[in-house]
Amino acid sequence: MLAGKSFWADFYSEDHPSQALQLTTLIIESFHREATEKGKIPVVVIFPMEFDLKIYKKTGEWDYQNLLDRLKEDGIETLNIGEGFIKRIGHRETCSLFKRCDGGHYNEEGNRIVAELIRDYLVTRGKIQLQKK
Alpha helices in 1-133 (DSSP H): 20-37, 50-59, 65-73, 81-89, 108-124
**Lowest mean pLDDT across 5-9, 27-31, 101-105, 113-117:** 5-9
Q: What is the pLDDT of residue 102?
A: 77
Q: Is residue 75 domain-resident?
A: yes
Residue 86 has pLDDT above 90, yes or no: yes
Q: Is residue 21 domain-resident?
A: no
Would the pTM count as exceeding 0.85?
A: yes
Q: Is residue 35 domain-resident?
A: no
Domain total in the chain: 1
| Mean pLDDT value of segment 6-28 | 89
State which residues form the domain around 64.
43-124
